[in-house]
Amino acid sequence: MEILKCNNLKKQIKGKIIVENISFSIKKGDIVGLIGPNGAGKTTIMKLILGLIKITEGTVKINGYDIEKEFIKAIEKVGAIVENPDLYMYLSGYDNLKLTANNYKNISKNRIDEVIKIVGLENRIKDKVSTYSLGMRQRLGIAEAIINNPELLILDEPTNGLDVEGIIEMRNLIKNLSSKGIAILISSHNLTEIENLCNRIIAIKNGKIITDDTINNFQAISSESTYILELRSIDKIKKILSNYKIEIINENKIRIYISKDNVTSLLQKLIENKYEIYSCHEEKLTFEGAFVKKVGENNID
C-alpha cells in the first residue's frame, strides 16, 4: 500500500531550479534512505512533501490526498523532524508532549504514556528537557512526531551528533516504528546508518534522482568489478596490463578494475608473461564506495 507518492516534483526559486523530476513512492513499513551531496536538494524535497514550501510543479500525495489541495487530510497522518526537534528546554519532557498533543484532536493521556514508553523515556519524562542528553532530546522529538499515530514519518538527520550508544538506540527505535507499519523517509550523512536501517535508498545529485533501488542493487552499480591480485612480483605489471585500470597496493599486490567475464583472460595473460599468481579475489564494493562511485563525492549533508 502506497503511503507517499511524489510525481515530477520541481522547485524553482528566482529562476534557479533546486530540484526537478522527483518521482518516487513509499509503501507501508518501508524505511527509505535519502542521500546525496551537500546542496543536492534532500531537505528541499522533505519540505515539499510536508507542505512547508510551495511546489513549483508536480504533486505530492499522502494516503491519496494532495498536499496542496487537501493539506489537512494529507498531513493529519504524518510525523516529522526536519533539521532539529522543536522543544521547550525549560519545560519537562511530559509538558512538551502535552503541548504537542494540543495540536491534534483526541490525543489521550494513554497515548502520551504510550509514546513515552515507545521511545524509552519513562524514567526521565518529568525532568526538564535542559537536563536531557542530545540522544534523549532526539527521542523526545520522535515521541512528538508519532503522537498522532502517523502512517508516514519523515526524519532529517535523526542521528546527527549522537554518540555510538545514542545511534544504536535511535536505529532500534526507527526499526521498531517500521515494524508497526509506519512508512519512514530518512536522510542522514551517516552512510553506515543508512545501510543498516534502510531497505531502499534514493540518491540525489544536482536536484535529480540518480538512483532509486535496494541497498544491494545500489552496491552492484557497475559491470566493472574490483579484484585484488597477489603475485610473486609486480615488476613491469603496468606495461603488461596497459589496457586495464590498476592500482599498486604494495610490492606484491595490485587492485584491478575489470568485468568478471574478463578475469580468466587477464590471468591467462599474466601466466603467459611468466607472472606467478598467489591469489585472486573479488573486492566487494562497500556502500560508501558505491556512493562515491555513483555520486562522485563523499561529502553528504
CATH of the domain at 245: 3.30.70.1560
Give the torsion through C-alpha atoms of 67, 209, 180, 129, to 10 deg.
Answer: -80
Regarding whether 239 and 90 lie in a shared domain, the answer is: no
Work out the percent of the chain whose per-residue pLDDT is above 70. Answer: 95
CATH of the domain at 60: 3.40.50.300
Regarding whether 199 and 65 lie in a shared domain, the answer is: yes
Domain-located, residue 290: no
Strand partners, 253: 230
Tell me the pTM: 0.78
Regarding whether 135 and 40 lie in a shared domain, the answer is: yes
Number of structural domains found in the chain: 2
Give tens-digit pLDDT for 217-228. 876 654 457 888
Domain-located, residue 12: yes
Give tens-digit pLDDT for 129-180. 999 998 899 999 999 999 999 999 999 988 887 888 888 888 899 999 999 9
Mean pLDDT lowest for which of 10-19, 218-227, 240-249? 218-227
Regarding whether 112 and 57 lie in a shared domain, the answer is: yes
Contact 160, 189 (CB under 8 A): yes
Render 31-58 in DSSP notation, one character per residue. EEEEE-BTTSSHHHHHHHHTTSS--SEE
Q: In 3D, which of 81, 84, 1 has the Cα closest to residue 46?
A: 81
Regarding whether 239 and 195 lie in a shared domain, the answer is: no
pLDDT confidence band for 301 (50 / 70 / 90) = very low
Domain-located, residue 191: yes
Q: Which residue has the cell 510543479?
A: 57
- Per-residue pLDDT averaged across 120-137, rounded? 93
Domain-located, residue 289: no
Domain-located, residue 301: no
Instruction: Report the C-alpha gap between 58 and 98 in whole angstroms.
Output: 36
Domain-located, residue 53: yes
Regarding whether 159 and 62 lie in a shared domain, the answer is: yes
Regarding whether 172 and 241 lie in a shared domain, the answer is: no
Full domain range(s) for residue 206: 2-219
Domain-located, residue 63: yes
Domain-located, residue 175: yes
Q: In 3D, which of 245, 252, 217, 251 has the Cα closest to residue 231?
A: 252
Residue 299 has what pLDDT?
41
Regarding whether 250 and 195 lie in a shared domain, the answer is: no
Regarding whether 90 and 23 lie in a shared domain, the answer is: yes
Regarding whether 229 and 197 lie in a shared domain, the answer is: no
Regarding whether 213 and 263 lie in a shared domain, the answer is: no
Which pairing describes strands 65-66 and 57-62: parallel, antiparallel, or unpaired?
Answer: antiparallel
Residue 300 has what pLDDT?
35
